[in-house]
Structure 1
Amino acid sequence: MSKKSTSDIPQEAFDWYDEYAHGGIDRRSFMAKLATLVAVGYSMTALTSALLPNYALAEQVSFNDDEIKATYKTFDSPEGYGKGVGYLVTPTNKTGTLPVVLVIHENRGLNPYVKDVARRLAKVGYLAFAPDALFPLGGYPGNDDEGRAMQKTMDAAKIQHDFVAAAKFIKKHHRSNGKLGAIGFCFGGYMVNYLAAVESDLIIAGVPFYGTPAKKELRKNIKASLLIQLAELDERVNNTWPEYESDLKMAKAPYQMQIYKNAKHGFHNDSTGRYDKENAKLAWHRTLAFFTEKLG
């Protein structure tokens, strides 16, 4: 039997990965499902290479780039885990105060892809701050499987408090102009929606990529402008959109929604086979234009 091309991997395999990544099935069940595709001609190596991240692919802006400076900053989080740490990236070619963007990772800690997103934002002139929810457990462990398992053991309410504390910390940074935006992916997309809802004046602009909304009772508080980025093939998240849109309208919250044709959940992440170069490029262009309009 000839081996099938990775370009022919069926959508169901990506759905299985999404289910696994969000705790719906364990790794053994995920691998067993992939084995059914091996039985019909796919290579397990090709399948896992397409579905699991390769962070060597994700560096668009080097941490050695002369136009940025990257470091780590600790912040207090008395209602969360006590202390938090974030990856702070500052433009080196700009003086004075800057608009600020909080960058929020997926449900596996501050991995190299999300750090690179922070560097991309700093490269175009933002003060970017990317906290690591896993700091209380020692930080991102170096691979997503362990990171996902670690984050799953943590108190969700405390994690949320940590990100609120991070937002307030970076908003008051001496290089901040007081205008705070937030961008997040998957769990991070949920956190952007949560930050917009939990305190009306915490952020003024949010870009949640394929993130679910905050609890319904909080949505009435939303005043921040939102750019909702959705993937056409992401049924799990997209099913939450109609009700969320209705609540945004009820709250008179300024929002726009973009849905990306034939894109999968995680399409912006350039370290996995879900990456969609053209849609990711378009979504990023829209993100930067949105932040320019709302933050300056």
Structure 2
Amino acid sequence: MNRIPDADLNSLLPPLTLNRRGFIATALATGFTLAAGPIMAKTAITTDTNGLTAGEISIPVSDGNMPAYRAMPANAQNAPVILVVQEIFGVHEYIKDVCRRLAKAGYMAIAPELYARQGDPSTYTEVPKLFAEIVSKVPDAQVMSDLDAAAAWAGKNGGNTQALGITGFCWGGRIVWLYSAHSPSVKAGVAWYGRLVGDKTNLTPSHPTDVAAKLNGPVLGLYGGADAGIPQDTVDAMKAALAQGDAAAKASKFIVYPDAPHAFHADYRPSYREAAAKDGWQQALAWFDQQLK
């Protein structure tokens, strides 16, 4: 049977639309987000699409359509699903490449653009402005709902949502913990240096330490011991909270790389630490393989 090319498949999907709330970002960024800083070409990993079905998709949500990136083994049916949650910089080339890496390992990986209603992060050049104008305005409840929609899309398009995982980086690492407590379908998560505590607001009413005891699937936390933004006492607090939880919470664990800074997996940035990044990736794959396959 001939496979419909991605370009033709996308033409059959509902068009990206504006609606009463207004989806500001109706397509994914090309290349890297400017605010991420200088690109380290020597270390940036590029994963090809050979043997994959990969490209931009449109995911229906309650108030319109959300752009996302999807990669999976070509012609796969019933592939385990991993939701990939962006850094603060949105779904740019690094996040797309992470999806392709997971697809090469046998997974359907989907990265929804979770800032689509708030703005286009690829156009920003300054992190403080990006955070103030977009990131700080994204409600956790919206993110949970959009990830639910991404999982539902996966289940209708060749993915096995009975084997659902989630991974995320920085801003997305925090979301991994929250979504693992939110969705009964989650079987495993891998959180890369996501904050564990924080101020509670109307948009962010809880944080990982608040939900640690009620995870639906165990989470592997990959953190840097030299991460100035995530003190080790907050990691210790999360470990203590997990110890008081149910089976999934107790099965969760942390790996802390002593000399690694924040964003040590981001191979396109100066923060990249090859040894920690490569070991963390192998740990993540082993974790998902154990829980989802």
TM-score, normalising length: structure 1: 0.73
- % identical equivalent positions: 27
- Local SS of the residue matching 1:128: strand
Aligned to 1:174: 157
The one-letter amino acid of 1:197's match is A
Higher percent of residues as helix: 1
Q: Tell me how far apart the structure 2 counterparts of residues 104 and 241 of structure 1 sit (CA, whole Å).
A: 20
Kindly tell me: are residues 70 and 167 of structure 1, through their superposed partners in 2, closer, same or farther at Cα, counting changes over 3 Å? same
Structure 2 residue ranges without an equivalent (≥5): 1-35, 197-206
The one-letter amino acid of 2:264's match is F
Q: Tell me how far apart the structure 2 counterparts of residues 163 and 58 of structure 1 sit (CA, whole Å).
A: 29
- Local SS of the residue matching 2:266: coil
Q: What's the CA shift string for 1:165-223, capped at 9, x where partnerless?
A: 34432452331122111110000000101101123x13110000001233544333213
Asked if 2 retains the 8 angstrom alpha-carbon contact of 1:171 and 1:180, the reply is: no
Is 1:234 paired with 2:242?
no
The one-letter amino acid of 1:222's match is L
Q: Tell me how far apart the structure 2 counterparts of residues 164 and 112 of structure 1 sit (CA, whole Å).
A: 20
Asked if 2 retains the 8 angstrom alpha-carbon contact of 1:197 and 1:221, the reply is: yes
Structure 1 residue ranges without an equivalent (≥5): 1-50
1:86 to 57, 61, 68: 68
Kindly tell me: are residues 259 and 271 of structure 1, through their superposed partners in 2, closer, same or farther at Cα, counting changes over 3 Å? same
* Alpha-carbon distance, 1:279 to partner: 0.9
Q: Tell me how far apart the structure 1 counterparts of residues 187 and 135 of structure 2 sit (CA, whole Å).
A: 29
TM-score, normalising length: structure 2: 0.74
Aligned to 1:157: 140
Q: What's the CA shift string for 1:198-249, capped at 9, x where partnerless?
A: 23x1311000000123354433321311111010101432332122111111
Q: Runs of at least 4 residues of structure 1 off by over 6 A?
A: none
In the alignment of these two chains, the number of paired residues is: 240
Q: What's the CA shift string for 1:116-149, capped at 9, x where partnerless?
A: 1111111121101011123225644255637545
Is 1:60 paired with 2:41?
no
Kindly tell me: are residues 53 and 111 of structure 1, through their superposed partners in 2, closer, same or farther at Cα, counting changes over 3 Å? farther
Is 1:250 paired with 2:236?
no
- Local SS of the residue matching 2:81: strand
Asked if 1 retains the 8 angstrom alpha-carbon contact of 2:188 and 2:291, the reply is: yes
1:186 to 157, 165, 170: 170
Is 1:219 paired with 2:212?
yes
Q: Tell me how far apart the structure 2 counterparts of residues 211 and 153 of structure 1 sit (CA, whole Å).
A: 15
Aligned to 1:30: none
Q: Tell me how far apart the structure 2 counterparts of residues 55 and 286 of structure 1 sit (CA, whole Å).
A: 24
